[in-house]
Structure 1
Amino acid sequence: MRSYHGNLGEGLAGLSVKEHDIPVPGPGEVLIRVRACSLNYREISILFHGRYPLPVRPDFIPASDGAGEIVEVGEGVTRVKPGERVMASIFPQWIDGPFSWEYSAQLGGSLDGMLTEYAVLSQEAVVHIPDHLSFEEAAALPCAAVTAWNALTSGQSLQAGHTVLTLGSGSVSLFALQLAKLSGARVIATTSSDEKADRLKALGADEVINYTTVPEWHIAVRELTGGRGVDRVVEVGGTSTLEKSIKSIAFEGQISQVGWLTQEGATIDLKAIAYNVFTLRGIAVGSRAQFYTMNRAIAAHQMKPVIDRVFSFDEAKEAFSYFKEASKFGKVIIRLP
């Protein structure tokens, strides 16, 4: 079998293919033939920027997201059986409940990830694929979709008729849009172009604000909500957008902070915080229980993720370059033989 290996901050120069014997699952473990994996911003942060808030071991196998089929099970495995299609849960030890440091071991970081032809995981770390999804579509879910689901459903309950604000057209924002609509919410989205605005509307966005032509987009959000503000913001931008998100949120609303896509420094006007009453909640992907619940909703509504482009396993380096440099709309997938 073959697998890709990388190191923190070494970029594509440090990404290499190695050959191994196909591993044998031990007690409580399963052997997965990986059929597809997907890329997230975390991979760029680890490989290219050399920074990540959780430990990254040397010579790790990248990619937290993967889907495949069970080919062998170890002694005592009861949750799955050979032939079943599964996805990997990023935090194998986080089954349910609040996140804590004891659950922080993660695929594609402190643990080997899914950019490999075969992977051994604990039976507790796998989730069944909804029947209507392909391996490529399923591989899009574990990080971005679960993060969006956590952002929408944890803390304050999202209800039908609530208004959700999503920022941009990254994968978390696209999933947040799709999942919010499944819940009966109204969605206001921001984006950088009229072409992307049309695509967001096609996905179900009720209103879209072009932030290049409307830089004070928080004012437009207030106008679209009759001055009230939105009930939930899925915040992905960082300090460059957080102040405007705060100015967009309704009293007792919730902002779910999902990482920091922008790295430049910025300040936040403390009056924006003092003049509102809201909850700011950090998000760390989600538990296996949240993954399972999200999959039930996806299956019930036959929802499919947006895929931008699919690369072959041998084109993995090209996939990383494309993900890092291109203007994407949807997930970048690597398909395995």
Structure 2
Amino acid sequence: MSRQWILASQEGFEASLKYQENARIPSPDELGSNEVLVKIHAASLNYREISIADPKGVNGLIQPPIIPACDGAGVVMAVGSSVQEFQPGDRVVAYPAPKLVEASGDNAFASLADVPSMLGQGTDGTLRSIGVFAEKALVHAPVSLDWLPAATLTCTWTTAWNSLFGVEGREAGPGTWVLVQGTGGVSIATLQLAAAAGATVVAITSTGEKEARLRALGATHTVNYRSNPDSWGQKARSLTPGGRGFDIVVDIGGNQTLSQSLVAVRVDGIVLVVGGVGENTAPVPLFAALMHTCMVRGLLCGSRAQLKQLVRYIDEKGIQPVVDDVVFELAEAKDAYRRLKDKKHFSKVVIRVDHPDA
């Protein structure tokens, strides 16, 4: 039998998450032709999980029961008759939008219309010890990573990769200045990738302790936004050559941070709108981009092809994704949700999901 969490309702994760220890495991001969049976060794959480469990969240309604989460890594146990990319024993990580790939190919990018079908929302996700996934919901895992860091790549690291390398001719590299916000998963992933590419990274955060950790990971400069609550964008901009501004600003706060991100970006620079974890403040009009003469690019994760590129890059550069100091077991997933919601984590909240028979 498999262990798993389900969203039995959509009343917030405290009421909706239910743990099951007796879920049936399909036999290999029950797999569909394009399905893969995976033993999951680790998973990680994104803010989308909190939103999906909440009926007021931006992700929309779900049809319970659904197994939550889209990030995970494990080993292939069996494959369907038409599966081409995988065989038993392969190490894999999840990709969140398999139906998009099946319809439009590995290079397709998700839009709002694709969100309802993604892993953990419209399709069963990764908070389980063994599960069946579509072939296109998986890619080969980096050979250089253990399970916990590998389980962070699906959404967070693919978003960071798309942010830095997703616009042809504008890829991050030596001479590029990148601004990241805080110490959450996307920001840390962006910092690690940008530093590996030779870019100069400035990070904003709230405490001296976090500033030290960010510099240790490769940030050249840090800015304390609590000391500069209404001017951290200008403070960060002043650190760039001649005060010109940043080539790439990765905004994870949404309306709370976008006005400062626009201050920080250079003329013809790019502001990436990749999250909304900040407070619910007044919307920042897109018209504001006119006054700052910049590009604004919204994105939802990245393509399956980009996740494959990321995997190769991690192995090539020897990057070790940072995970949170606290590691949860599968049965403790609700505590992991709480840590994420309370913003007590550093980088990615991870969950060890080794099956008892491992």
| TM bucket, shorter chain | over 0.9
SS at match of 2:238: helix
Mind listing any 5+ residue stretches in structure 1 that lack a counterpart? none
Give, as a single letter, the amino acid of the residue that structure 1 aligns with 2:228. Answer: V
SS at match of 1:295: helix
1:175 matches 2:186: no
**Counterpart in 2 of 1:201?**
215
Q: Are the equivalent residues in 2 in contact too, given 1:8–1:51 (CA < 8 A)?
A: no
1:328 matches 2:345: yes
Match of 2:253 among 233, 237, 262: 237
SS at match of 1:221: helix
**Counterpart in 1 of 2:234?**
219
- Give 1:272 shift: 5.0
Give, as a single letter, the amino acid of the residue that structure 1 aligns with 2:334. Answer: K
TM-score normalized by the length of structure 1: 0.95
Q: Are the equivalent residues in 2 in contact too, given 1:55–1:110 (CA < 8 A)?
A: no
- Give 1:325 shift: 2.0
Q: Distance in 1 between matches of 2:38 and 2:96?
A: 15
Q: Distance in 1 between matches of 2:307 and 2:213?
A: 26
TM-score normalized by the length of structure 2: 0.89
Task: Give 1:37-48 correspondences, 5 Å limit.
Answer: 37-48=43-54
1:251 matches 2:267: yes
**Counterpart in 1 of 2:37?**
31
**Counterpart in 1 of 2:12?**
10
Q: Are the equivalent residues in 2 in contact too, given 1:71–1:82 (CA < 8 A)?
A: yes
Deviations 1:205-243 (A, max 9, x none): 010000111221122122111220000000011111111
Identity, in percent, stands at 39
Q: Distance in 1 between matches of 2:343 and 2:293?
A: 38
How many residue pairs were aligned?
A: 337
Deviations 1:276-307 (A, max 9, x none): 21111111011110000011111111111111
- Give 1:46 shift: 1.7
Deviations 1:106-132 (A, max 9, x none): 100011111111111121221111111
Q: Are the equivalent residues in 1 in contact too, given 2:156–2:189 (CA < 8 A)?
A: yes
SS at match of 2:48: helix
Mind listing any 5+ residue stretches in structure 2 that lack a counterpart? none
Q: Distance in 1 between matches of 2:113 and 2:32?
A: 22
Q: Are the equivalent residues in 1 in contact too, given 2:97–2:110 (CA < 8 A)?
A: no
Deviates more, 1:279-288 or 1:47-56: 47-56
Give, as a single letter, the amino acid of the residue that structure 1 aligns with 2:62. Answer: V
**Counterpart in 1 of 2:175?**
161
- Give 1:62 shift: 0.7
Deviations 1:19-43 (A, max 9, x none): 3221232101110011111111111
SS at match of 1:63: coil
SS at match of 1:275: helix
Q: Are the equivalent residues in 2 in contact too, given 1:44–1:324 (CA < 8 A)?
A: yes
**Counterpart in 1 of 2:330?**
313
Q: Are the equivalent residues in 2 in contact too, given 1:164–1:187 (CA < 8 A)?
A: yes
